[in-house]
A and B are shown apart, each in its own frame.
Chain A
Amino acid sequence: MSNKDIISVNLKVWRQDGPNDKGRFEDYSLKEVNTHMSFLEMLDVLNENLMKEQKQPVEFDHDCREGICGSCNLVINGIPHGPEARTAACQLHMRHFNDGDTITIEPWRATAFPVIKDLVVDRNAFDRIMAAGGYVTVATGNAPDANAIPISKIDADSAMDYAVCIGCGACVAACPNSSASLFTGAKVAQLSKLPQGAPERKQRVKAMVEQMDKEGFGDCSNFAECEAVCPVGISITSIATMRTEYVKAMFS
């Protein structure tokens, strides 16, 4: 391992004891950070150091660490998931930082995502949007043969482009209005591309959009910040689809 693979960084980390605490930034410095580490591994090292001094570690959500579960939710230097495009924070590596850098780490900030502790937020609002209508009603055992309904490859591929949403909430964190339109639109758009979604398409879009409003997410003003930070590249065409579907549902 050569010396250029080792850097030192200064961290400004958001600490908040609970939902009612005001919260503040705390400064830490980390020496000997290997640039092949992932960002979360760097936080592991920080926490190990803190615990060796019998101090409270920084709480942050994480699980799969391969960019698919959607657990991690760090705003790094002002950008949800950090500086690398199409990369969840868990897949971000320290080689994208320089020796001596100061890195600011904050949680998602949105009314609908209250902070639980430090960098951990409550994203159950997304579950409630899904429960409002993000499904096809088909009880187990009722399905026809899988090849009974042919679906063109183009439609299936397009549905998949929207279906890959990992539900992390970076779109909300990046949006000046804290809108959940990209998240909600992705599910509406996926099911609007498929014949299975057709029977419920009207009530689905209405129910999901209404739930989104009820949760306290803002409206979409076409900033497109959501698309820019989405770690899996969901397109804002999903929002256009959601709006078209919504208007159609309201006036038919």
Chain B
Amino acid sequence: MEVADKTTFKWDSKIPTGPLTEKWKTHKNNVKLVNPSNKRKYNILVVGTGLAGASAAASLGELGYNVKAFCIQDSARRAHSIAAQGGINAAKNYQNDGDSIWRLFYDTIKGGDYRAREANVYRLAEVSNNIIDQCVAQGVPFAREYGGTLDNRSFGGAQVSRTFYARGQTGQQLLLGAYSALMKMVHSGKVEVRTREEMLDLVTVDGTAKGIISRNLVTGKIERHAADAVLLCTGGYGNVFYLSTNAKNSNVTAAWRCYRKGALFANPSFTQIHPTCIPVSGEYQSKLTLMSESLRNDGRVWVPKAQGDKRHPNEIPEEERDYYLERIYPSFGNLVPRDVASRNAKNVCDEGRGVGESGLAVYLDFADAIKRDGEKAIRDRYGNLFEMYQKITDENPYEVPMRIYPAVHYTMGGLWVDYNLMTTVPGLFALGEANFSDHGANRLGASALMQGLADGYFVIPYTIGNYLTEVTPGEVDTTHKAFDEAEQSITAEIEKVLNIKGSKTILDFHRQLGKIMWDKVGMSRDEQGLKEAIEEISALRKEFWSDVFVPGQPATYNKYLEYALRVADFLELGELMARDALDRPESCGGHFREESKTPEGEAKRDDENYTHVSAWEFTGVDKAPVHHREPLIFENVKLTQRSYK
């Protein structure tokens, strides 16, 4: 793969000047507008149809642009946003409990352990209210009070009730809202949705994004699409760990190909490990299932005080149980943020006090809540989650405590973007989980849905105009030699991987990569482990390219070929994640370095040396990438050590 021409890189995050609370308003007043009669001349490609992609494609179509949207599933409605359970935050303050845009901003920036940009996060909090309005207008059936107004709940340790929800299926309802807006634009002819089509490369001309190469997943045909701008809305890359709560087809390939074409990759090691997932049950396990963290509002987390206590949980008396979150964090208790809850679960299991067959689980116990509020109240709150738990584990959580363990859930890192959501490749934008910008080193609950929709509905429709006014529409078409080169390189890669005909399956490699990542680039990291991970992943990648077996032919429906190409990219990404974690010797948010902790064992930031975004520039496979640093400047909040004690 060719290295992009870019050799030097100059930071310009394009953050507007002026006071924090005025930046977005000022920026909106200053962005250049595309004349309505010119909008139809611009072609925009939107890759991915989750919350960010569907909302962006629909909104840009409404504005009059020609939009083509791509998804790898058989329908835009199946993007993995659909699986989000808990809710979506907004600073409506409908509950009169003191919430405000400022507080949502502050909680998000503090929750991210001060590793996100103030201006981006403030804008996110600002547009959060518009999102709720938009979704309600689309007919999203949010939970309501008897009086007919919207209901809210407290979520993920927030001190106010700002989370809007639709039972345990909030992501589904928000995605179906965005999908319906998208289908409306398909009907009007302004948007074309191409299902079962996967982006395999970005096409750049003079360093500017001018289109993509994709593969029709039904026929295997390689396709060319030219455009004036490309929006990457392809979600996160948690599947680099093999086991995660992501859908099986979630992958990094589109984002990774952009990285290889010159887009910087920011904070790749920032991974969220969610504390409440159903534990692994065996080697055959193909994915992990999340149990919404709203369960921690009523469930109490505990393990036996004694190591190796194999008694049935209901036979372990109260005084022999360690409700460790309540013990260590008396003020937040079971509601500490995700990173803190996950690390503590790992610690008690490392001490030999984990439960279940594998010893890699802790209890989440509802007995006290049922005693206090009655089984019916608990059923009303969590009925569908309890049902799902029982289906998977064959245990009844109304009678026996749930067993839970942390699992990879979300990736805060992603393509570096400026305030306009544009990457370092002009004309290439990244939205939603695919970018890095808003969650710092740890994402708060109910903020992923907020960010995906903020980017798609309320940010990109404004900021894309600024770029497009500088571009002559239709400058490049698919006969350009850049398309020839990109297509040839993809065709060659597909032939190469199919022709290895080795002895190991793709899954063998993916599992092995996942184990390295989980053990050495997972919940706790140290210098030695990270160095080993870099070596091991690099060796595994070489083995993959000489000994993998990929079945079938290029020009047919071939899911394992798709899978092979994705695993190949994960084998490059994993190494970059380890490098990123190695070059950040501080602990922050979900990134925990054994070398950097407080005397009580909590994460210890090093603000003096690491208050920056790490952004990586590709120089070639098997070559060390260039490490750039964007300093983070805090003018409005004071950096404090997070404390939940």
Contacts and interface: CB of A to CB of B under 8 A. Distances in A.
Interface string B130-153: 101111111111111111111000
Contacts of B289: 65-66
B461 A167 contact: no
Contacts of A152: 144, 146, 148
A137 interface: yes
Interface in A17-48: 18, 34, 36-38, 40-41, 44-45, 47-48
B38 interface: no
A130 interface: yes
Given A126-B75, A127-B195, A130-B183, A65 B286 contact: yes
B179 A130 contact: yes
Given A131-B186, A147-B94, A142 B551 contact: no
Interface in B129-185: 130, 132-150, 166-167, 169, 172-173, 176, 179-181, 183-184
Interface string B70-107: 00011111101011000000001010000000000000
Nearest to A50: B551
A26 to B, nearest CB: 15
Given A57-B560, A120-B557, A136-B137, A131 B78 contact: no
A127 B183 contact: yes
Interface stretch (A173-181, A188-196, A236-244): A188-196
Contacts of A65: 247-248, 286-287, 289
A190 B172 CA distance: 14
A91 interface: yes
B74 A123 contact: yes
B458 interface: yes
B180 A196 contact: no
A194 B148 CA distance: 12
A84 to B, nearest CB: 8
B326 interface: no
Contacts of A87: 391
A17 B6 CA distance: 45
Interface stretch (B55-63, B342-350, B401-409, B587-595): B55-63
B20 interface: no
B478 interface: no
A122 B74 CA distance: 7
A185 interface: no
B282 A37 contact: yes
Sorting the interface of chain B by its residue count into under 10, 10 to 19, 20 to 34 or 35 or more gives 35 or more
B78 A70 contact: yes
Interface string B216-243: 0010000000000000000000000000
Interface in B511-568: 549, 551-552, 556-560
B394 interface: yes
A56 interface: yes
A139 B457 CA distance: 10
A69 interface: yes
Contacts of A71: 73-74, 78
A153 B549 contact: no
A136 B180 contact: yes
A191 B141 CA distance: 9
A126 B77 CA distance: 10
A3 interface: no
A196 B139 contact: yes
A134 B92 contact: no
Nearest to B181: A135
B83 A144 contact: no
A62 B287 CA distance: 12
B181 to A, nearest CB: 6
B468 interface: no
Interface in A80-134: 84, 87, 91, 93, 95, 116-117, 120, 122-124, 126-127, 130-134
A70 B218 CA distance: 19
Contacts of A61: 74
A134 B130 CA distance: 22
Contact of B551 (A57, A69, A144): A57
Nearest to B453: A140
A69 B183 contact: no
Contacts of A63: 73, 78, 80, 247-249
B9 interface: no
B474 to A, nearest CB: 25
B636 to A, nearest CB: 27
Nearest to B250: A63
Contacts of A132: 187
Interface in A126-170: 126-127, 130-147, 149-153, 156-157, 159-160, 163-164, 166-167
B169 A68 contact: yes
Contacts of B141: 156-157, 159-160, 163, 190, 194
Given A38-B286, A124-B75, A140-B461, A196 B138 contact: yes
Nearest to A88: B391
Contacts of B11: none
B466 interface: no
A60 B552 CA distance: 15
Contacts of A190: 139, 141
Interface in B360-413: 388, 391-392, 394
Contacts of A157: 141, 144
A216 interface: no
Given A44-B286, A143-B130, 9 more contacts: A18-B556, A56-B551, A64-B247, A66-B388, A69-B83, A122-B218, A144-B137, A146-B132, A146-B133
27 contacts: A36-B281, A36-B282, A38-B286, A44-B284, A56-B552, A63-B78, A66-B290, A69-B80, A71-B74, A93-B392, A122-B74, A127-B195, A131-B184, A131-B187, A134-B183, A135-B138, A135-B184, A136-B137, A136-B138, A140-B62, A141-B457, A146-B132, A146-B136, A153-B145, A153-B148, A157-B141, A160-B166
The 3 closest A-B pairs by CB, nearest first: A150-B148, A135-B180, A143-B137
